[in-house]
Amino acid sequence: MRSDRFYARALSRFIDQALSGKDITLYGEGTQTRSFCYVTDTVTAILLAATRKEVKGEVVNIGNPHEISNLELAEKIKALTNSNSKITFHLRPPDDPQRRCPDISKAKKLLGWTPTVTLDEGLRKTIEWFRHRREAST
């Protein structure tokens, strides 16, 4: 998950910015929504899809259908990191989608799968990973 430059992913960029005390940069008003699926949930779904013959030839969305706005995500990360970073707003790129949220109905039906790691739990684990990575590089 890249956290640098303009094309960085929001979650990793927000965490990196919050941990380093930099401004947390939002594009647009922060109303765009995203959904986040923790890696263990994603891997579980992929393994299920790879081992079920009834899935062969099917397209199955894997992800978490619970959406959060980019502004809410930035505020949540700021709180979880105890950061003093300011949230700043910048011009929204024209190709930035307003909404990203998977329809996982096929994953539920064909795999019997739904994500189990909550956003808060996943964020805590991810923030801890970023902290450890930062400490190891100093």
Architecture of the 10-120 domain: Alpha-Beta Complex (3.90)
Greater confidence, 39 or 4? Answer: 39
- Confidence label for 57 from pLDDT (cuts 50, 70 and 90): very high
DSSP one-letter string for the chain:
---SSTTS-HHHHHHHHHHHT--EEEETTS--EEE---HHHHHHHHHHHHH-GGGTT-----S---EEEHHHHHHHHHHHTT--PPEEEEPPPTT--SB-----HHIIIII-----S-HHHHHHHHHHHHHHHHHHT-
Give pLDDT, residue 2. Answer: 47
pLDDT in tens, 4-37: 554 457 899 999 999 999 999 999 999 999 999 9
Give pLDDT, residue 7. Answer: 44
pLDDT in tens, 112-127: 999 999 999 999 999 9
